Amino acid sequence: MSSSNINRPISRRNFLKWSGAAATAATVGGQPRVLHALTAAEGAAAGEDTAEKVFSICDMCLNKCGLIARVEDGVVAKLDPNPKFLKSRGMLCARGNAGIAQLYDPDRLKYPLLRKGKRGEGKWQRVSWEQALDYAAEKLAAIADQYTRCGVLFSPGSDTQSQFVHRFASVFGSWNVVTHESNCLISRNRAYLDTFGEVPFADVLHSKYIVMAGANRFEALITPDSIDLMTARKNGQKLVVLDPRYTKTAALADEWYPVRPGTDLAFFLALAHVIINEKLYDADYAAEKLSGMEELTAHVQPYTPEWAEKETEIPARHIRRIARELAAAAPASMIYPGRRTSDYVNSTQIRRAMAIVNALLGNWDQPGGLLAARQVGLSSPSLPDAPWYDDNMMERADHGRAHMMFEEEGSFKHMRDAIIEGEPYPVKGWFVYKMNPLQSGANQAKTLQMIEKLDFMMSVDIAMSDTAWMSDLVLPAPSYLERLDPISGLQGSAACACVATRVPAVPALFESRPVLWILKELANRLDLGEYFDFDMEWYRKEQLKDLPDAEKALAEDGVYYNPSKLYGIYEGKIYRTKSKKIELHNVRYKEMGLDPIPVYTPPKPIPSDKFRLVLGRNAMFTHCTTNHNRLLNQFMSENTLWIHPDSADRLGIGDGDPVVVKSPVGRESLKAELKPGIRKDTVYMASGWGALSKGLSGVHNTGACVAALMEDYADALSGNMAMHETFVSVARKGAA
């Protein structure tokens, strides 16, 4: 399909036709069967319903909504929601529906590719799996020999099979694993673990009052929260949104405050001030469950609403009123815990302040509040312990670069610095599975610099992402509709304590192979085969061994519910914190010389000739991944720079004008979009555009790459990338 067709609406018939075109191209990969099947499917669609229906779970984002794939003569013709799937409230979003265009995407990787020219030059040689795996195993072994086994970094993305990449890393002998989480939500996890001893789910459906700050649930979809928020709002729930942009969530809220970016901490400390000083909390609950009330009371005295107004630009009278309203609705009220917290250098402390207000509302383990994870009863298959290598490094390469880093997740920012510096030891190999750090890690130039330091880099992906594009070896993976995956346990919220299954709707296309197969093959070549001596069927059976009714329910409904307690899980139990209570004042932080209660530090002031650059999602795209999807790309075919009309006017920029955006680390061009709903000191652009990869049609050289502009600051405690700390200048193209 030529790029000129990209914005043309696609009818179902046209869609199948072009999928057919894609499949024709794919005959190079040896799959003419698909083309015949497509033709048959068009015929079947006109006549009687001969479709086979396959239960699966969506993977167009991390939410795992239940779906039923309609398979007509070996071809997925349509994806329908699974009505029995409570987590997704029986629905699929636009991206979920567009999964079919990912499956039959002409940009799909079809066979193993070995780099020929320079990295990023785009010269590839098609190789056999045998050659590809031999080559990869040889390279991994050479790095292990020369630099120890920790010389290889593993990056498993968010995926049900990523657990096998983790296992492979430990069997191979590397501590160096960096997941997507340090570019996503680890500062939130850190904050809640260090307050409640657990990361909560939000009981959005039953909450009477929600304050949502730095989250955009009507565009950044989390199921069931996004759907429940809409239902609860119809039932009278009050929603207050803090966001420097007038998002769709702000538009549907009762109140929106365009908070001065980076100052939310002042707002939450002031809420705590009011709740404590006006004695709006439940004193008995506080005495029994909370630790550090005295310290918190003293700590919040200076943080008055009047003081917070100066920092946040939210009027003091509203802060006071919101605190009172929250307390009146408690415990069925909450500060929504949020998800992506890759924002500021003090993100953990911002989230700690949010958690502290939640603690004061007494909403933990209560209807309409924050919920603990529920047990779904999946078993962990027992596998041989990973070997111990005496001659290996003792610590991760990014160890010690953040005060409270999660050792299992690491920090992409700090690992990248460690690799560039070659300190504390060289890391020379990179195995990437289903992650695209060239677009999802701030400061793309630095990621390129890191890649220059490597002897070998391989990517397992479904498309030629920017990260695959820079790799030495690219291996094609099947998409979720072609995979048999481990069983998933979904634990959160009032909607689910369930297990869900993903079985292939169609066989793997082209020469794609699942990552478990790839890892087994590599393990065999590295004399580690005994640690991977299992298959997916066995693994799934083991996972379900304590759930005798699950297999039948999964076959009949695509989901199995384990009736388990939703509220009151903590009755009679202690909290998994050092004090065994909910920690307003964190004992461990105190011992480590960190602020035991969040202390407000103002964000760096924005220079008058600059803007703060912020990120945010669109409902039709996932991260930097689906922008080239032919069905979704129709909603937005390039990104724009959101800028306030007054700011644009000052710079002589009109709506649609081409502009140049410069940061200390990059320079990008795109069109301006005048938006009265963004603060005058802030600009925004959508992510995933301006791809380096020529393998992503419609995204390569289209729009601007925000990862190339963002500087790479990190949250001091967790090492979470801090993606809202960049200031940029904007000028009309030609005027710069």
Ligand X SMILES: Nc1nc2c(c(=O)[nH]1)N[C@H]1C(S)=C(S)[C@@H](COP(=O)(O)OP(=O)(O)OC[C@H]3O[C@@H](n4cnc5c(=O)[nH]c(N)nc54)[C@H](O)[C@@H]3O)O[C@H]1N2
Q: Which residues bind ligand X (CB under 6 A)?
A: 59, 61-62, 157-158, 180, 183-185, 213-216, 219-222, 242-245, 247, 259, 261-262, 264, 338-340, 342-343, 433-437, 439-440, 460-463, 465, 477, 479-480, 614-617, 619, 621-625, 687, 706-707, 724
Residue 64 binding target from ligand X, ligand SF4, Mo ion, none, CB below 5 to 8 Å by type: ligand SF4
Q: By CB under 6 A, tell whether 630 contacts ligand SF4.
A: no
- 110 vs 180, which CB is nearer to ligand X? 180
- 92 vs 730, which CB is nearer to ligand SF4? 92
Q: By CB under 6 A, tell whether 224 contacts ligand SF4.
A: no
What are residue 674's phi and psi, to 5 degrees?
Answer: -80, 120
Query: What three-state secondary structure class fits 204?
Result: helix
Q: Identity (one letter) of the amino acid at 733? A: K
- 264 vs 461, which CB is nearer to ligand SF4? 461
Residue 60 binding target from ligand SF4, ligand X, Mo ion, none, CB below 5 to 8 Å by type: ligand SF4
* Cα–Cα distances in angstroms (integers) from residue 452 to residues 118, 264, 429, 695, in the given order: 11, 39, 11, 21
> Stretches 85-93, 209-217, 262-270, 571-579: which one binds ligand SF4 (CB under 6 A)?
85-93
Token pair recorded at residue 686: 């959508």
Which residues fall within 8 angstroms of residue 556, CB to CB, at 6 or more apart? none
Residue 259 binding target from ligand SF4, Mo ion, ligand X, none, CB below 5 to 8 Å by type: ligand X
Residue 543 binding target from ligand X, ligand SF4, Mo ion, none, CB below 5 to 8 Å by type: none
Q: By CB under 5 A, tell whether 221 contacts Mo ion.
A: no
- 393 vs 457, which CB is nearer to ligand X? 457
Of the candidate residues 88, 176, 342, 562, the single one contacting ligand SF4 (CB under 6 A):
88
Least distance to ligand X from the beta carbon of 133, Å? 16
Q: Identity (one letter) of the amino acid at 241? A: V
Least distance to ligand SF4 from the beta carbon of 477, Å? 18
Least distance to ligand X from the beta carbon of 193, Å? 17
- 249 vs 312, which CB is nearer to ligand SF4? 249
Measure CA 248 to chain center: 20
Q: Name the residue with the smallest CB distance to ligand SF4.
A: 96
CB count within 10 Å of CB 119 equals 15
Q: Identity (one letter) of the amino acid at 197? A: G
Q: By CB under 6 A, tell whether 221 contacts ligand SF4.
A: yes
Size of the site for Mo ion (CB under 5 A): 2
| DSSP state string for 242-310 | E-SB--HHHHTSSEEE-PPTT-HHHHHHHHHHHHHHTT-S-HHHHHHHEE-HHHHHHHTTT--HHHHHH
> Stretches 110-118, 277-285, 336-344, 476-484: which one binds Mo ion (CB under 5 A)?
336-344
Q: Are 718 and 337 in contact (CB under 8 A)?
A: no
What are residue 573's phi and psi, to 5 degrees?
Answer: -110, 160
- 10 vs 314, which CB is nearer to ligand X? 314
Q: Round to whole Å and give the CA distance between 76 and 508.
A: 12
Of the candidate residues 70, 89, 95, 428, the single one contacting ligand SF4 (CB under 6 A):
95
* Contact code string over 183-202 relative to Mo ion, x by CB under 5 A: -x------------------
- 92 vs 497, which CB is nearer to ligand SF4? 92
Q: By CB under 6 A, tell whether 333 contacts ligand SF4.
A: no
| DSSP state string for 569-611 | TTTT---SSTTSSEESS-HHHHHTTS-SS----PPPPPPTT-E
For helices 347-361 and 186-196, give the axis angle rounded to 10 degrees.
40
Of the candidate residues 93, 435, 683, 710, the single one contacting ligand SF4 (CB under 6 A):
93
Q: Are 129 and 513 in contact (CB under 8 A)?
A: yes
- 458: DSSP letter: E
Q: Are 714 and 641 in contact (CB under 8 A)?
A: no
Residue 88 binding target from ligand SF4, Mo ion, ligand X, none, CB below 5 to 8 Å by type: ligand SF4
Closest CA to 140 of 534, 525, 437: 525
Q: By CB under 6 A, tell whether 483 contacts ligand SF4.
A: no
Of the candidate residues 19, 31, 182, 223, the single one contacting ligand SF4 (CB under 6 A):
223
Residue 461 binding target from ligand X, Mo ion, ligand SF4, none, CB below 5 to 8 Å by type: ligand X
Residue 492 binding target from ligand SF4, Mo ion, ligand X, none, CB below 5 to 8 Å by type: none
Token pair recorded at residue 674: 């005048």
- 185 vs 498, which CB is nearer to Mo ion? 185
- 122 vs 377, which CB is nearer to ligand X? 122
Q: Round to whole Å and give the CA distance between 14 and 16.
A: 5
Report the chain's terminal Cα–Cα distance, integer Å.
37
- 173 vs 514, which CB is nearer to ligand X? 514
* Cα–Cα distances in angstroms (integers) from residue 331 to residues 334, 363, 369, in the given order: 8, 4, 6
Contacts with ligand SF4 in 155-214 (CB under 6 A)? none
- 65 vs 204, which CB is nearer to ligand SF4? 65
Least distance to ligand SF4 from the beta carbon of 598, Å? 32
Closest CA to 371 of 495, 281, 269, 185: 495
Beta strands in 82-193, from DSSP E residues, in sequence order: 113-115, 124-126, 152-156
Residue 96 binding target from ligand X, ligand SF4, Mo ion, none, CB below 5 to 8 Å by type: ligand SF4
- 264 vs 398, which CB is nearer to ligand X? 264
Of the candidate residues 37, 38, 68, 96, the single one contacting ligand SF4 (CB under 6 A):
96
Q: Are 195 and 576 in contact (CB under 8 A)?
A: no
Least distance to ligand SF4 from the beta carbon of 406, Å? 24
Q: Round to whole Å and give the CA distance between 251 and 236.
A: 16
Q: By CB under 6 A, tell whether 22 contacts ligand SF4.
A: no
Q: Round to whole Å and give the CA distance between 55 and 554.
A: 8
Which residues fall within 8 angstroms of residue 75, CB to CB, at 6 or more apart? 16, 19, 34, 37, 38, 40, 41, 506
Which residues fall within 8 angstroms of residue 592, CB to CB, at 6 or more apart? 403, 404
Least distance to ligand SF4 from the beta carbon of 163, Å? 19
Sign of CA dihedral 472, 476, 480, 485: negative
Q: Is 596 left (phi over 0), alpha (psi -120 to 50) or beta?
A: alpha
- 214 vs 292, which CB is nearer to ligand X? 214
Residue 243 binding target from ligand SF4, Mo ion, ligand X, none, CB below 5 to 8 Å by type: ligand X
Residue 644 binding target from ligand SF4, ligand X, Mo ion, none, CB below 5 to 8 Å by type: none
- 441 vs 514, which CB is nearer to Mo ion? 441
Q: Identity (one letter) of the amino acid at 625? A: T
Least distance to ligand X from the beta carbon of 4, Å? 24
Query: What three-state secondary structure class fits 328?
Result: helix
Residue 58 binding target from ligand SF4, ligand X, Mo ion, none, CB below 5 to 8 Å by type: ligand SF4
Closest CA to 611 of 332, 248, 370, 261: 261
Q: Round to whole Å and give the CA distance between 429 and 427.
A: 6
Q: Round to whole Å and give the CA distance between 651 and 163.
A: 50
Least distance to ligand SF4 from the beta carbon of 631, Å? 12
Residue 223 binding target from Mo ion, ligand X, ligand SF4, none, CB below 5 to 8 Å by type: ligand SF4
Residue 447 binding target from ligand SF4, ligand X, Mo ion, none, CB below 5 to 8 Å by type: none
Contacts with ligand SF4 in 44-73 (CB under 6 A)? 58, 60-61, 63-65
Q: Which residues bind Mo ion (CB under 5 A)?
A: 184, 340
Q: Which residues bind ligand SF4 (CB under 6 A)?
A: 58, 60-61, 63-65, 88, 92-93, 95-96, 221, 223
